[in-house]
Structure 1
Amino acid sequence: MSSPAIETTKPARGRTFGRVLEDHLPYLIIAPAILILLLVGLFPLVYSLIVSFQHITMTENDTSFAGLMNYAELFKDTRLWAALGHTAIITVIALPLELLIGFLMAQLFIDRMPGRQLFVALLVLPTVISPIVAGATWRLMFDVRFGPVGQILSFLAGEPVRILWTVNPAYVYPAIIICEVWQWSPFMFLLLLAALSNVDQSQLEAAELDGASYLRVLRAIILPAIAPVVAVACLIRGLDLVRIFDIIWALTEGGPGSMTETISLYTYIQGFSQFETSYTAAIAFLVIALLTVITTLVLKRMELAR
């Protein structure tokens, strides 16, 4: 009497297992990829956090718990806060310039014109160049003897112009800003060109028929329409500027002295020149905390603006 009951329950269990497998199959498929991402991204982060509470240097390998010693040193490190200030200066100056130049370039190419695609392709070439190559190229261009920048200025001035762009404290920041804006304004240009192309043309035509000025159209129609793209573009470039390293390393190596030393450059020096491993990890988590706060505030502001 029991065998028929066993035979009827087996297919039910089989169907139940098959349904469970079918429900969880998408998760099982993506599980290996998620595991790899966690190992590649999360493990170094957790390991760096552990190291930041130790005292590991080039001469010591003390893995015992050191408490908040490294984090306490951060608040007494004037060079660290100066590096954060240098980073903020470059970000505050370069980001608006890139946004403005990118917007003007996008306005220029929004209308159909002969050779438009060719010109757009040429304009975005600086973006695909490696930043270290761009910095090295501009260092050669700023060369006081053979650089074309000095020769052009001398021609325009009618007399020899000798500017030590990467050495003179008065010109070193303009040199960095020029190189940074030259390379990344095309990035803003591409994003804003796509945003401007999606602005409702019927509203623009209606405003034109009503005789509205360009500034009024810009303020009332264009800017509100492209505001989400502008916010995302500024967030991306802002985060990228905070971690700027390659261009400055190629142009000035943080000089003269430590005048142009950014937070990324200072972290590199502490970790790979002075081999203060645990202190470098603490600096990295300070930067992560600052960027997390800034990004959260910006995203909340974007949500409120909708």
Structure 2
Amino acid sequence: MKKQLSEQRFAWLVIAPACVIVFGIVIFPLFTTFIYSLKNMDLTSSQYGQWVWLQNYLELLKDKEFWSTTGRTAYFTGVSLTVEITLGIFIALLLNEDIKGKTFLRTIIIIPWAVPTIVNGAMWKWIYHPEYGALNALLTQLGLIDHYQSWLGSPWLAMNMIIIADVWKMTPLVVLFFLASLQLRNLSIYEAARVDGANIFQRFYHLTIPFLKPTILVIIVVRTMEAFKVFDIIYATTRGGPANGTLTLTYDAYLKSFTNLQYSQGATISYLIAFMILTLTFLYVKVLKSEGAN
């Protein structure tokens, strides 16, 4: 009995530092942020510190700007996911073939993903520079444009340029997911389909896509959670501009909290982001379970 108690004490001593760290940097900030969302914590208000309960949530849900920002965030997430999954599948299929130099290609494909997001954003900001950016120089030399463009100068174009930068960084991760799945394929099924007369497109549609469907759903869950919280690349490139064209929910929460000193609104947006991600994740998991049951 004493030995068991001593082992339990030792176990608690071992995990105690981790518990303190988790409480200090995760649980306590989450609890404090939730309290802020229920109070008036705006430093510019004369009613600072008063409880308003759900008023912050109700006001935010009635705000058209909030829904516009939500739409931009959803657009960024949806387009990024679609392009990354599409490119990821075809690149993985290419790297899975017996081609010359595939080991080298598999090695270097991970480099864009290994680059820190803030560095990736700064790099693409220079690439998109309207006066001496590499993209303008390349397209001009190829004759595709006759004068330099301001790639981050209009709201719609800037958002799509940010998506390209995000796709460049995150597609390698998607490729690794698909490549790992493709290694587990039963090639005899493909040989049988080829003997039966199925062409490459039929084999891809009827065999490869159904086989990769669970992996696709996992990628959608993981990347949705990441993309919906996009901040670093926005901060490094456009700071939400021009004309709020690249303003996403997480960056909006940052601006309200640390620029406008509206801590209540920033906290409320943060918890609404968490609620949206939890809702999407729940729906994805439901679909994933139903696919697994089938």
Whole-Å Cα distance in 1 between the matches of residues 48 and 144 of structure 2? 63
Residue number in structure 2 paired with 1:83: 69
Q: Secondary structure at the match of 2:155?
A: coil
Structure 2 residue 251 is matched with structure 1 residue 269: no
1:52 to 37, 44, 48: 37
**Structure 1: runs of 5+ lacking an equivalent:** 1-16
1:117 to 103, 111, 128: 103
Please state how far the C-alpha of 1:26 moved relative to its aligned partner. Answer: 9.7
Structure 2 residue 112 is matched with structure 1 residue 126: yes
Which letter does structure 1 place at the counterpart of 2:104?
L
Q: CA RMSD in A?
A: 2.3
> Quick check: which has more Rg, 1 or 2?
1
Structure 1 residues 169-178 or 244-253, which shifts more? 169-178
**Structure 2: runs of 5+ lacking an equivalent:** none
Structure 2 residue 164 is matched with structure 1 residue 161: no
Whole-Å Cα distance in 2 between the matches of residues 221 and 85 of structure 1? 35
2:131 to 145, 155, 163: 145
Whole-Å Cα distance in 2 between the matches of residues 122 and 231 of structure 1? 26
Structure 2 residue 169 is matched with structure 1 residue 200: no
1:175 to 161, 169, 173: 161
Structure 2 residue 276 is matched with structure 1 residue 290: yes
Deviations 1:29-87 (A, max 9, x none): 77534564344322221121112111112345833422222112212322221111111
Verify the 8 A CA contact 1:141 1:149 in the aligned structure 2: yes
Whole-Å Cα distance in 2 between the matches of residues 70 and 165 of structure 1? 36
Whole-Å Cα distance in 2 between the matches of residues 23 and 304 of structure 1? 42
TM-score (norm 2): 0.90
Verify the 8 A CA contact 2:154 2:245 in the aligned structure 1: no
Structure 1 residues 48-57 or 169-178, which shifts more? 169-178
Pair 158,42 (structure 1): closer, same or farther in 2 beyond 3 Å: closer
Whole-Å Cα distance in 2 between the matches of residues 159 and 224 of structure 1? 41
Whole-Å Cα distance in 1 between the matches of residues 223 and 162 of structure 2? 16
Whole-Å Cα distance in 1 between the matches of residues 61 and 152 of structure 2? 30
Please state how far the C-alpha of 1:24 moved relative to its aligned partner. Answer: 6.1
TM-score (norm 1): 0.86
Verify the 8 A CA contact 1:58 1:275 in the aligned structure 2: yes
- The number of residues matched between the two structures is 290
Structure 2 residue 179 is matched with structure 1 residue 188: no
